[in-house]
Amino acid sequence: MRPTLRRALGFVATAPVFPPLRRGLRLLSGPGPSNQSTGVIRLFRAGLVTLVALTTLAAPTVAAAEELTVGVFLPQASFATNAERSAWAERFAGDLTAKANGAFTVKTQLFARREDALAFSGRVDLLVGDGLFALERGGDVIAHATISPGVALYAADAKTVGELAGKAIAAAEAGPAELSFYSNTVLGGELAADKFFGEIKSLKDASAALAAVKSRTVAGAFAPVGHPAAAGLRILAQGGDYPVAVVFIVNKARVEPLRDALLAAITQTPAGPLGSFMQGGGDAFARARGARGTPRVANAPAFLAGGSEARPVAPPIRLKTRGRIPPADVTRTPLARPLLVEPDDV
């Protein structure tokens, strides 16, 4: 028998928990099977292997950390390319896992288009997404990015908003919520974007929308103020902070037990071009929730002609009355009587 096996078996046989095995182990570690039954030795070996296997299975195991899948849908964020957005998502997942201190691990699922995010967001546990998409999709918003830029209407050739009437414009993943938001913020509630402009092209992100303006594919585009792709374009109107990124829960059953650890980790994780994350929905998200109504007027000449310096004007005041207003009775008013003497009376 090999010396290593002999020493190992000798250790097990001398341990107090295995006294019944000592005699059998002596058969294995003895000078040879000349005076022993080969069948007994084989049977003992099989029993020893079974015992070691059962002992291994009974040993305590350390539970693996919960793995959370984080979806990423950020069409308005200031990423120049899809590769840059993907790199940010992977880096964010790694940093978030590190800040979790073993409470959970993170993998990401990147969504490039709105329809994909709507169709497959149920496969993720939480989502770092566009604020208006969060309002449409629904979910418990637990954090928001500190960067919330204003939104502007950009153009390459036009100098006033009025020059874009009936013309095609572009916007990133523009759904009804986005168009209402642009109408009530950038356009100050004076114009309904879906009625004033011609075709509204819904492109995959703000970079693509601004590129379409530069190529003259469209006459204008809605995009965040300060977006890198907006260089060289003119701002015709602007307003309204846009909630470019919020974190909201999709799979409550999996996330809720980790909520405290998750919030602590998220608020400590750097977010690059998004700044950082703070707990709660934030002011921009709250204002966006209330900026989805129908604009108050459909035509605003001063706003249309004023260019980027134009500001929304108050709607005309209209008095609501019931019935007819009777004519004024001036017979009892002293000032209504003649003050000069009539010539016939002189």
Residues 86-138: tens digit of each pLDDT: 999 999 999 999 999 888 999 999 988 888 888 887 889 999 999 888 888 88
Instruction: Give the integer Cα–Cα distance in Å for 224 and 181.
Output: 13
Q: Do 277 and 133 fall within a single domain?
A: yes
| Same structural domain, 16 and 52 | yes
Q: Return the H-helix or E-strand segment holding 56.
A: helix 38-58
Tokens at 213, concatenated? 């303006």
- Percentage of residues of the chain with pLDDT beyond 90: 41
Q: Within a domain: residue 342?
A: no
- SS3 call for 217: coil
Residues 16 and 54 in one domain: yes
Instruction: Tell me the C-alpha distance between 108 and 71, whole Å.
Output: 6
Helices (H), 100-245: 114-120, 131-137, 176-184, 193-196, 206-214
What mean pLDDT is reported for the chain? 76
Contact 126, 248 (CB under 8 A): yes
For the stretch 45-80, pLDDT in tens is 555 545 544 444 544 444 567 899 999 999 999 888
In a domain, 344, yes or no: no
Average pLDDT over residues 271-286: 90
Say how many domains are in the chain.
Answer: 3
Is pLDDT above 60 for 13? Answer: no
Q: How far is CA 229 from the centre of its chain?
A: 21
* Nearest one of 199, 240, 194 to 219, comparing CA atoms: 199
* pLDDT value at residue 119: 82
**pLDDT of 44 strictly over 90:** no
- For residue 97, the domain's CATH number is 3.40.190.10
In a domain, residue 319? The reply is no
Tell me the torsion sign for CA atoms 315, 317, 323, 324. negative
272 and 165 share a domain? no
Q: Where are the beta strands (DSSP E) in the chain?
A: 66-73, 104-110, 126-129, 140-145, 150-155, 169-172, 200-203, 220-224, 234-241, 246-249, 277-279
- The whole domain housing 38 covers 3-58
Q: Which residue has the higher pLDDT, 17 or 204?
A: 204
Helix axes 22-29, 3-14, angle to 10 degrees: 170
pLDDT of 39 strictly over 80? no
Asked whether residue 297 falls in the same domain as residue 212, the answer is yes
- pLDDT score of 249: 93
Average pLDDT over residues 258-269: 93
> What mean pLDDT is predicted for residues 273-288?
89
Average pLDDT of the residues in 240-259: 91
**Does the structure show a pLDDT above 90 at 21?**
no
What percentage of residues in the chain have a pLDDT greater than 70? Answer: 66
